[in-house]
Amino acid sequence: MSDNVLNIKKEENYYILTINRPHALNALNHEVFTVLDQFFTQYYRDYSVKGIVITGSGDKAFVAGADIKEFSTLDAVSGAQLSKKGQDIFFKIERFHAPVIAAVNGFALGGGCELAMACHIRVAGTNARFGQPEVKLGLVPGYGGSQRLIQLIGKGKATELLLTTDMVNAHEALELGLVNYVVEPGNEVSNSLEILAKISEKGPLAVDKCIQLVNAYFDKGADGFKNEYTDFGELLGSQDAKEGALAFVEKRKPVFTAK
């Protein structure tokens, strides 16, 4: 699968997705959303995929927001539909079975910040800038930003950033808990791949369950503790858990098969 607006590169068991609209600072438009949706639908629960890195083309922007030009023809109904579509796609990323890392190289504003927050881990170059500027346009975030920003940095600071539209730099984002690592520009993807390599050695079913359990903490309709003991029991009955225990006793690396 490939598209001009999204470059897809496979490297070992990982995929690097590069949003490729540098002339528009990689702004999210209908085509980008469509191809992202297709990709994460195609590889849903494909345990041969050990991780995804999402980044932006060029060195100026990860994603500088949504494509505002597409907003001009929208009304209340079609606007809500667009927002719901974006949220649904970002939920697919957030619920993906393998870690998805945002390699943030430059501006991550509006929809770009929301995309980064939907990923499980964020690696930012020192030139990265984060913000939700929607109220400048008389709007609110549409792709989950008002909720995930609170989850990551807390209510008080999230409220301040949403209302003031102030941008934060990479080191401020690290202090707030918005990103996991700050690296030199140009090293965002390679650092992300190093993290994926570490995680890929672990049991793929267990990695999947951990991701879903973390998500359950923020799901008002889920009982995360119940999910935990259910998943614990289910995994104990898996071939991977038996292999993991045997490998531990035999002092060797386990060979997991996602079964």
The set of catalytic residues is: 114, 134
Chain position carrying tokens 């049991």: 203
Which pairing describes strands 51-56 and 121-125: parallel, antiparallel, or unpaired?
unpaired
Nearest to 36 by CA among 3, 73, 70, 60: 3
Whole-angstrom Cα distance, residue 19 to residue 82?
19
Q: Across the strands, what pairs with 100?
A: 52
DSSP state, 119? S
Nearest to 96 by CA among 213, 240, 212: 212
Nearest to 6 by CA among 19, 15, 16: 19
**Roughly how many angstroms between the first and final C-alpha of the chain, as a whole number?**
27
- Tell me the torsion sign for CA atoms 106, 110, 115, 118: positive
The residue count for the chain: 259
In this structure, what are the phi and psi dihedrals at residue 62, rounded to the nearest 5 degrees? -70, -70
Residue type, 174: L
